[in-house]
DNA sequence: GGCATATTCAACCATCCGGTTGACGATCCG
DNA sequence: CGGATCGTCAACCGGATGGTTGAATATGCC
């Protein structure tokens, strides 16, 4: 009965993985480039990336021999919502939340994506 | 080198602990009462509470032989800030989500009328 | 073909985690 | 005092986690 929140929060609980996510904010990256700033074996980083992908926080797409890692911010949103109003995470509300996100997306698509300040 | 975020996210990664936090939203509770709905030994729950306290998510105060557990929502703030600093996209807009829910409710009310008497 | 690059796999290791049970220290109450 | 209640401690267990190394698999390049 491992909830999606379990894997997301567990993935976020590691500083290396949080650092990776922060790096991916900048841009998509290849596995080797993700690993470069860390004093850790490439295989170790590869495992961390697999965990992040398992939590849905990133996706990986192989082009040629390079596997590109891409941030998936939506996975964070569910966790963020839980934190802000934890308690109201019954399935009903999750469904509603998904509909909400879709509605929001459509709105974003038709309106200006940023309300900059 | 364990960051505060490490312990907070790790604490949130367990469904039992999230359920406990949700229960504490209602009111402060004694350890025994926290444990009551779970099919788990009291010692097990006591450990979970210690982890939550270690992460600063709750505080515990002993009055008489009863130890009261109190939610500390501020501890969530750092994690929440981290997650939101994350998205270039707007932070999750809970207000908008609530308006969405209300709008949906009204829609349900007008679309699926009771054939009442 | 042959070599370098990119990434994962497999095995292994130490440590942590979630859980149990049983004993123990406090505290209330009759 | 003596017994019941509240909660933790200590030891233990199986399984997950975070890391390593070395071999293996793809892919690109000359």
Report the alpha-carbon distance of residue B13 to residue A82 in Å, rounded.
12
| B10 closest CB neighbour out of A13, A93, A99 | A13
How far in angstroms lies nucleotide D26's C1' from the CA of residue A17? 26
Q: Closest approach of chain B CAs to the CA of A38, in angstroms? A: 15
Contacts of A93 in chain B (CB under 8 A): 101
Cα-based torsion angle of the residue sequence A11, B3, B94, B20 in order, rounded to the nearest 10 degrees: 80
Chain B, nearest residue to A14 by Cα: B6
CB nearest to A73's CB, from B3, B86, B96 = B86
The rounded distance, in Å, linking the Cα atoms of B19 and A86 is 9
pLDDT digits (tens, 9 = 90+) for A11-66: 999 999 999 999 999 999 999 999 999 999 999 999 999 999 999 999 999 999 99
**Chain A nearest C-alpha distance from B84 (Å):** 8
Judge whether residue B29 contacts strand D, using its CB and a 7 Å cut-off.
no
Per-residue model confidence as pLDDT tens digits over B54-98? 999 999 999 999 999 999 988 887 788 788 766 544 445 555 555
Tell me the C-alpha distance between B51 and B21, whole Å.
12
């Amino acid at each position: 009965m491992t909830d999606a929140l379990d894997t997301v929060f567990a993935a976020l609980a590691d500083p290396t993985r949080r650092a990776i996510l922060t790096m991916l904010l900048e841009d998509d990256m290849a596995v080797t480039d993700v690993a470069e700033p860390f004093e850790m074996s490439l295989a170790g980083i590869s495992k961390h990336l697999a965990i992040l992908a398992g939590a849905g926080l990133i996706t990986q797409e192989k082009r040629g021999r390079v596997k590109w890692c891409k941030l998936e911010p939506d996975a964070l949103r569910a966790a963020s919502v839980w934190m802000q109003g934890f308690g109201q995470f019954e399935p009903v509300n999750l469904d509603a939340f998904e509909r909400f996100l879709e509605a929001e997306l459509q709105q974003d698509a038709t309106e200006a994506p940023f309300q900059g300040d």
